[in-house]
Chains A and B, each alone.
Chain A
Amino acid sequence: MKLTGAETLCESLTRLGVREIFGYPGGAILPVYDALGKSKLHHVLVRHEQGATHMADGYARASGGIGVAMATSGPGATNMVTGIATAMMDSSPVVCITGQVSSKVLGSDAFQEIDITGITMPITKHNVVITKAEDIARTIREAFLIANSGRPGPVLVDITKDAQQASAEFNWEASEPKLPPKRLRNNHDQAEFDRAVEMLNTAKRPIILAGHGIMVSGAMRAFEQFVRAGNYPVAMTLLGIGCFPANDPLNLGMMGMHGEAWVNNAIQEADLLIAVGMRFDDRVTGDLRTYAKSARKIHIEIDRAEINKNVKVDAALVGDAREVLEKLTPHIQTRDHGTWIRHITELKGDSAVRDIQSLPDNGHLYAAHVINDIWKETRGEAIVVTDVGQHQMWEAQYYHHNQPRTLITSGGLGTMGFALPAAIGAKFAKPGSEVWVVVGDGGFQMTMSELATIVQEKISIKIAIINNGYLGMVRQWQEFFYDKRYVATPLVAPDFAALANAFGIRGERITKRAEVVPIIRSARESNETVLIDFRVEQEDSVYPMVAAGASLSDMIRRPNNPLVETATEP
């Protein structure tokens, strides 16, 4: 069967299980759009190509599968850069397809020609230019294989216009991926394994650092069995949230810069860290010289390049988290950590016993109220997609996730503008799930044009804008470290509710605490998208905080304030 390159692309994507493509057309990709129209693939027209990449990313994070984004050459391709980098930093499997000028004029500064493979080389797991129709099927299969194997990541495929237009024989069976033969090294030797077992069975004060890799590996069951076998307390990274139920007594909460005080203190006192699928980010460790000094360390990690990168470990179990955990669990003999766990409970002090909801109303609406109420009303079962800033940290503290892949957030790159488009992608991945966006007034203004995409696609998303009138997280740094000189952080915003109406979306504004639960209920009852502008306390800060580069033991705590530092245990 002879197909054009464009038809081959659509046929290949369909055979790879793709249903939606998030994209934006233009000259150099027009042949593909023409073929798309005749295919069964559903194209979601975005309002900016950055949105397309975040949607594909949100789709991938919610589903565990691959998200696909598409754009034209030149500006279409360069608009994707932020989204690609976001996916790269958080190991998210996204395939980006860009149109390119004809191979005959490549290198001539043709109209809308840009070296997008050159530009994205450091921010993709792999990228490739296709100049021949007959290479398309195989290369797309390779791209999918690369994006979601090992440590996942974004792959960009740049297809010249003549390759899209030319005809070639289509033979799926004959276009099997032909990747270079690589040495397999995702393994560890027996001695390393035995050393880890010895460490596990002799530790008095062990703590697990659970990361995103557990979700990537699909290791939730194996992880739970491992935790139970050793009766280990679990701390999570921001991206690890959801890998272990928040309502489990062994789950301590988040570690790091805005982690719970007792979690960071426990890490500093531990005699064994068991790091699983996490990469010791600097937001997690603080000053490395003072980090977990009395602990030996085991690192379960699929990527050899992460071993000893930031923290020197005593046993490195290189491999897939699920496989390694399944192998380890039968060897665990010691599970008597009662004294240690009681000690950690004591470390919680009064941060945990006071209930934020029962504090007397001082007339102010705090972001924590809003997020805690969304958690309660949704019974922790919604997919929450956050943007970047204070609201992101409050979400991590006050929304208690019991299921994997229900918190979707940009951790490594910290990309403002991520939430709204990523939520659209998540909704396509999980159409039956309730999807909430928790976003700041700053970040929302970066990609709010995607409201039109929501309307055009007739999907239902609940949007909670945590409107504090500031680029809050930066304002907080100015408050703490720059003597409250609020340069360029006070922020004017449009009337978000009216803006929503202009898009044809229901918009509400909430200023009082008593109005929060009713509006959440009303939004949940609606089958349509609802945007709620929560006018919250303007100069509230996220506590506790480990200043950048400071020791994990040095936490800035909430000053005498009627509000508790963190939420209660779920």
Chain B
Amino acid sequence: MQTLVAYVENKPGVLNRVASLARRLAINIDSLTVGPTENEEIARMTIVAHTDERGAHRLEASLEKLVDVLLAENISTRALLERDLALIKVSADQQNRPHLMELIKVFRARVVDVAPESLIIEVSGTVDKIDGLLEVLRPFGVLEMARTGRISMTRGGDLLQPPPATQSESLETAEAKSK
């Protein structure tokens, strides 16, 4: 599994291009999240792909060839902070409710909705942590689940910022070349 971060133009169709590219390279995407950044014209993606280092290099370099991708970087080997968020609806009756609440506490999850027959649990953390919680909830009956997919950030001073707004190629040379 490889993790890539990409800064892309925040406009329609870009997600399609990114997903279509991965499909063309025969690389399976495990999760892909997109969200806005400080700059409203730029969005940030975290892509988790089922591939090896070589595949990740190809994906990274190919992504950067897309006009709308400003930067793509494989951060798999760097010190990372990773988060996934899940909402899990479990069936809960009067009897098992106390037991459930205990587990939720251990996993530092929260109950965000209470109904007579069920609870919605919100949990965030690493994929492993959420998978762990899911494992112990399963016997109670998981009715529904929604997960965001992973977002990642390199730790500390290791910054990954969008490139400054300067033109990448001299216009005159390229236009002259075309004549």
Contact = CB atoms under 8 A, between A and B. Distances in A.
B61 A181 contact: no
B11 to A, nearest CB: 10
B105 interface: no
Given A121-B20, A180-B9, A181-B165, A148 B61 contact: no
Interface string B38-66: 00000000000000001001100110111
A304 B63 CA distance: 11
B178 A17 contact: yes
Contacts of A17: 178-179
Given A146-B67, A176-B171, A185-B64, A65 B177 contact: yes
A470 interface: no
Size range of the interface on A?
35 or more
A147 B70 contact: no
Interface in A106-142: 118, 121-122, 125-126, 141
Interface string B51-87: 0001001100110111111110000000000000000
A305 B24 contact: no
Contacts of A303: 61, 65
Interface in B165-179: 165-169, 171, 174-175, 177-179
B163 interface: yes
Size range of the interface on B?
20 to 34
A309 interface: yes
A183 B71 contact: yes
Contacts of A309: 58
A179 B17 CA distance: 16
B156 interface: no
A280 to B, nearest CB: 13
Interface string B2-22: 000000010000001100110
Contacts of A148: 174, 177-178
B139 interface: no
Given A146-B67, A181-B163, A181-B165, A305 B61 contact: yes
Query: Which of B61, B69, B165 is the most central at the interface, judged by chain A CB atoms within 10 Å of its CB?
Result: B61
Contacts of A181: 70, 162-168
Nearest to A151: B65
Query: Which of B65, B164, B166 is the most central at the interface, judged by chain A CB atoms within 10 Å of its CB?
Result: B65
Contacts of B171: 145, 176-177
Contacts of A118: 16
Nearest to A117: B13
B48 to A, nearest CB: 20
Given A181-B70, A181-B166, A183-B163, A66 B20 contact: no
Interface of B: 9, 16-17, 20-21, 24, 54, 57-58, 61-62, 64-71, 162-169, 171, 174-175, 177-179
26 contacts: A16-B175, A16-B178, A16-B179, A17-B178, A65-B177, A122-B20, A122-B21, A144-B174, A144-B178, A145-B175, A150-B169, A176-B171, A179-B168, A180-B9, A180-B67, A180-B68, A180-B70, A181-B70, A181-B162, A181-B168, A182-B70, A182-B163, A183-B64, A183-B71, A183-B163, A303-B61
Given A141-B175, A149-B169, A305-B65, 11 more contacts: A66-B178, A93-B178, A118-B16, A122-B20, A122-B21, A125-B65, A147-B178, A181-B167, A182-B70, A308-B57, A309-B58
Cβ-closest 10 pairs across A and B: A17-B179, A305-B61, A304-B61, A183-B163, A182-B168, A181-B165, A149-B174, A183-B71, A66-B178, A305-B62
